[in-house]
Amino acid sequence: MNMIRTLNGLLANVPEWLIALLIRIAAAVPFWNSARTKVDGWDIWNVKDSTVFLFEYEYQVPLLGPQTAATLSSLGEHIFPVLLVLGLFARFGALGLLGMTLVIQIFVYPNAWAVHLLWAALLLYTVGRGPGSFSLDHVLGLEKKSESDAKKEGAPVSA
């Protein structure tokens, strides 16, 4: 039992910034990879005809035409993952990808709920906890200090 407590104590010292960074990267990768298949080159506004075809005949997202849905999807899958990885407006980026995850789950691939649940869990961590100290949000002072940061510094938590 003592050995388990010792091991748990060591494992509890994994830095929060590292956990948050890996979560942000893990959440961003599938969306970034999908984004790169939607366009040729780096013109993220100019989606491939094959992408529009998928939105017209397979994905069928309601309320949006196939061209609009394909373009918005391309933009979101290019912009939100970059924000997430950089930790710049990270909560906004995570919320954007969470919204895309919900649309994909409800309208596109409802049977892929296990994958979407994993994505949602990763994204909700960033929404709820923020991007961590290894982020541009932290460097730019866009995140309030967490209770644990304040305790380490001996300062009160800002409201």
Interatomic CA distance for residues 47 and 67, integer angstroms: 8
pLDDT digits (tens, 9 = 90+) for 124-145: 999 999 999 999 999 999 997 6
Contact present, 117 and 72 (Cβ < 8 Å): no
Contact present, 62 and 107 (Cβ < 8 Å): yes
pTM over 0.75? The answer is yes
pLDDT digits (tens, 9 = 90+) for 53-65: 999 999 988 999 9
Mean pLDDT to the nearest integer, 84-91: 98
Mean pLDDT to the nearest integer, 24-34: 98
* Structural domain spans, the chain: 16-153
Q: Name the least confident of 68-82, 105-119, 128-142, 145-159.
A: 145-159
pLDDT digits (tens, 9 = 90+) for 90-108: 999 999 999 999 999 999 9
Q: Long-range contacts made by residues 136-141, C-beta under 8 angstroms, separation at least 24?
A: 136/86, 136/87, 136/88, 137/87, 137/88, 137/89, 137/90, 137/91, 138/87, 140/88
Contact present, 109 and 78 (Cβ < 8 Å): no
Q: Name residues whose C-beta falls within 8 Å of residue 36's C-beta, 6 or more positions apart in sequence.
A: none
